């Protein structure tokens, strides 16, 4: 009887010890006190529950790490792939020029121009990646000022007018907005957001199409919409659209000089403003990108 009691006490104490070892860092004081005052049966049950909870937490952490690792690998693969194409193009042009092409008036200037275009493409990719990484580290945090979202949208539309005209696309406001719609945001970064969205509406628009900018008053915020009647986006692509380098039509995007990073930049900028972006789209009908900004 005495031996039995001593054994039970011994086992009980060992379990408490194991339990404490596992949770040395995490166990909070209340749980610890509660555990020390428990009887054997309760202790075993508590230990079992806590260990199960602990195992689940670790499992979730491992899943997260695996996801991050996959994302990191995919991202590195994408970067090298994106840079490889222009690099090999440049190498081809330069080798041909060195092989005597430099003296051939029929190709020397065009090959140098093509080399220049490919260098520009690499610069765009590297600069866009740099912007994203600086937004991610918080180095490029927003500089909040008050400004008219209507006049900023008008500036961007004026600047992109020549590009729209090339495709005979009409850029306009959905209604006659008053310049007094003032937001509190980082003006230059929101200029980038509007430029990227309007430029996309032109790139993925249809010839003789139209892009409309709408602004809605929503209590504390203004809702800004960029709407096109272009090619549209299939629903299954929408969740991945804001990932770096994600493109639906790679060829079309590249031939238009796109880095596949525009929407990733847009998302990062709006996240830094604690705002979100939404997309509605139908194939063959068009797409609407909308985001909110705080009123001044
Ligand atoms: P890029 O335009 O440089 O490829 P983005 O990040 O701006 O990169 O866009 C990612 C992809 O989303 C584009 O390649 C395109 O397939 C799709 N997309 C973006 N905007 C539109 C739009 N307005 N209409 C249809 N597709 C779009």
Distance set, CA 266 to CA 46, 115, 155, 226 (Å)? 48, 29, 18, 13
Asked if residue 30 has pLDDT above 90, the reply is no
Contact 125 CB / ligand 1 (< 6 Å): no
What tens digit of pLDDT does each residue of 155-175 get?
999 999 999 999 999 999 999
Site to probe by mutation for ligand 1, drawn from 200, 228, 258 as the one with most ligand atoms within 8 Å of Cβ, is 200
Q: Which of 12-16, 102-106, 264-268 has the lowest mean pLDDT?
A: 12-16
Closest Cα to atom 13, ligand 1: which residue? Answer: 247
Ligand 1 midpoint to CA 221 (Å)? 26
> Which pLDDT score, from 0 to 100, does residue 205 have?
95
CB count within 10 Å of CB 172 equals: 10
Residue 179 CA to residue 50 CA, distance in Å, equals: 60
Site to probe by mutation for ligand 1, drawn from 263, 286, 290 as the one with most ligand atoms within 8 Å of Cβ, is 263
Tokens of 155: 């500036």
pTM over 0.75: yes
Q: Which atom of ligand 1 is nearest to the CA of 286?
A: 24
Residue 286 CA to residue 210 CA, distance in Å, equals: 10
pLDDT band at 46 (very low <50, low <70, confident <90, very high): confident
Asked if residue 227 has pLDDT above 60, the reply is yes
Asked if residue 23 has pLDDT above 90, the reply is no
Contact 118 CB / ligand 1 (< 6 Å): no
Q: In what order do the strands lie in the sheet with 221-228?
A: 170-173, 210-218, 221-228, 286-294, 277-282
Closest Cα to atom 7, ligand 1: which residue? Answer: 262
Contact 253 CB / ligand 1 (< 6 Å): yes
> Which pLDDT score, from 0 to 100, does residue 36 have?
62
Question: What 8-state DSSP symbol labels residue 169?
Answer: P
Residue 111 CA to residue 96 CA, distance in Å, equals: 9
CB count within 10 Å of CB 64 equals: 10
Site to probe by mutation for ligand 1, drawn from 194, 202, 203 as the one with most ligand atoms within 8 Å of Cβ, is 203
> Which pLDDT score, from 0 to 100, does residue 123 have?
95
> Which pLDDT score, from 0 to 100, does residue 179 have?
95
Sign for the CA dihedral angle at 115, 118, 120, 122 comes to negative
Ligand 1 midpoint to CA 112 (Å)? 29
Q: Which of 134-143, 146-155, 156-165 has the lowest mean pLDDT?
A: 134-143
pLDDT band at 252 (very low <50, low <70, confident <90, very high): confident
Ligand 1 midpoint to CA 200 (Å)? 6
Tokens of 37: 């005052």
Contact 209 CB / ligand 1 (< 6 Å): no
Ligand 1 midpoint to CA 45 (Å)? 55
Closest Cα to atom 8, ligand 1: which residue? Answer: 260
pLDDT band at 25 (very low <50, low <70, confident <90, very high): low
| DSSP codes joined into one string, 269-296 | HHHHTT--EEEEEETTTEEEEEEEEEB-
């Amino acid at each position: 009887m005495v031996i039995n009691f001593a054994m039970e006490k011994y086992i009980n104490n060992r379990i408490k010890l194991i339990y404490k070892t596992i949770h040395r860092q995490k166990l909070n004081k209340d749980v610890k006190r509660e555990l020390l005052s428990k009887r054997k049966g309760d202790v075993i049950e508590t230990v079992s529950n806590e260990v199960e909870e602990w195992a689940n937490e670790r499992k979730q952490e491992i899943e997260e790490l695996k996801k991050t690792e996959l994302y990191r690998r995919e991202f590195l693969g994408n970067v090298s792939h994106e840079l490889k194409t222009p690099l090999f193009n440049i190498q081809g042009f330069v080798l041909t020029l060195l092989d005597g092409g430099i003296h051939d008036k029929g190709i020397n200037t065009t090959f140098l121009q093509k080399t220049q275009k490919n260098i520009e493409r690499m610069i765009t990719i590297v600069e866009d990646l740099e912007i994203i990484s600086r937004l991610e580290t918080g180095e490029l945090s927003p500089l909040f000022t008050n400004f008219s979202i209507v006049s900023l949208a008008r500036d961007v539309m004026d600047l992109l007018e020549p590009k729209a005209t090339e495709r005979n696309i009409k850029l306009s406001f959905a209604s006659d907005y008053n310049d007094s719609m003032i937001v509190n945001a980082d003006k230059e970064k929101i200029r980038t957001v509007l430029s990227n969205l309007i430029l996309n509406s032109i790139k993925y628009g249809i010839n003789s199409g139209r892009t409309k900018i709408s602004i809605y008053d929503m209590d504390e915020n203004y809702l800004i919409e960029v709407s096109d009647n272009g090619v549209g986006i299939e629903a299954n692509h929408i969740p991945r659209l804001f990932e770096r380098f994600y493109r639906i039509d790679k060829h079309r995007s590249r031939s238009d000089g796109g880095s596949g990073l525009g929407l990733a930049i847009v998302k990062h900028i709006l996240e830094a403003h604690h705002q979100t972006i939404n997309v509605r789209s139908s194939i063959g009908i068009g797409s609407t990108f909308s985001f909110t900004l705080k009123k001044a």
